[in-house]
Amino acid sequence: MVSPMSQPNLVRIGKKPVMNYVTACVTLFNSGNGTVMVRARGQAIEKAIDTVQMLRHSFLKYVLVKSINLGSEDVTRYDGTRGNISTIEILLSRGGEEDEGEFEEDESIETEQTTTP
């Protein structure tokens, strides 16, 4: 298992409020990290998505979603039964700070207009 100290750009989503994780991501980007990985399991997946959305739309509009990995892990519950738990990893990267979003509008697209006589 990889220790959290070997991945200094990792934010693990858990039971804390969403703003705590948004603040952690902002701090990592402001400290010079070019990428930040947001990781969650089970019911915390919804909170991970909320964190990324809030970060991109309210705080750091130049952050891009580079990749999203979905998976599952085998777990053994307290009663000894086995099951699967869903996981998500969202890799964020710093885009150009002047960018407003992931996609740029192409203003050079020309449209053909046809007129009928």
Q: What does the pLDDT read at residue 115?
A: 40
pLDDT at 49: 96
Residue 5, pLDDT score: 52
Domains and CATH numbers, the chain: 4-94 (3.30.110.20)
Question: Residue 103: what pLDDT?
Answer: 39
Smallest CA-to-CA distance from 61 within 24, 28, 92 is with: 92
Low-confidence ranges of the chain (pLDDT < 50): 1-4, 98-117
85: β partners: 73
Which helix (H) or strand (E) segment is 18 a member of?
A: helix 18-30
Q: Which two tokens stand for residue 99?
A: 């960018």
What pLDDT does residue 6 have?
Answer: 61
Q: What local confidence, expressed as pLDDT, does residue 73 receive? A: 93
Question: Is 96:61 a contact under the CB 8 Å cutoff?
Answer: no
Percent with pLDDT over 70 in the chain: 76
Q: In the prediction, which pLDDT does 105 show? A: 35
Q: What is the tens place of the pLDDT at every residue in 23-43?
A: 999 999 999 899 999 999 999
